[in-house]
Amino acid sequence: MANHNELGKKGEDLAVDFLVKNGYTICARNYRYQKAEVDIIARKGDTLAVIEVKTRTSANFGDPQQFLKPKQMQRIIKAVDAYVISNALDIEVRFDIIAIVLNKKEMTLEHLENAYYHF
């Protein structure tokens, strides 16, 4: 596995641990629909949180959350629409980003709720 893939998997594992510790139930990981992949779909109360995990080894080139592009957002939204319909859910949906900087010296995790919206 390439280093960036290992870093991404480690980041997703850290994000899942964080979410579970904060009362979320993990519904799906790496949910795929057409060309989209949703990192984490989690539920807390009456809200379905759709979480994109962005992990970097440094913030020197920008915060991790700045690397989510509009086209990727559109694909994620389409995938989640399909997930909600296929599971017959009547639930509030929120789009979050978990931004992680992970290197030998530090690990920071920031959970950005409502990071982007259905458009």
How confident is the model over 17-33, as pLDDT tens digits? Answer: 999 999 999 999 999 99
- Per-residue pLDDT tens for 78-113? 999 999 999 999 999 999 999 998 888 888 899 999
For residue 17, the model assigns a pLDDT of: 97
What is the token pair recorded at 114?
A: 């409502």
If you count DSSP H runs as helices and E runs as strands, how many of each does the chain have, helices first? 2, 5
- Per-residue pLDDT tens for 8-17? 889 999 999 9
Contacting residues for 31 by C-beta, under 8 A, at least 6 apart? 37, 38, 41, 79, 83
- Per-residue pLDDT tens for 24-81? 999 999 999 998 999 999 999 999 999 999 888 776 666 655 667 788 888 999 999 9
For residue 119, the model assigns a pLDDT of: 44
CATH match for 1-64+101-119 among 3.40.525, 3.40.1350, 1.10.10, 3.40.50: 3.40.1350
Residue showing tokens 């409502």: 114
For residue 67, the model assigns a pLDDT of: 67
Cα–Cα distance list, 99 to 11, 60, 84 (Å): 9, 14, 25
Asked whether the beta carbons of 23 and 68 are under 8 A apart, the reply is no
Residue showing tokens 């086209």: 71
Domain locations in the chain as residue ranges: 1-64+101-119
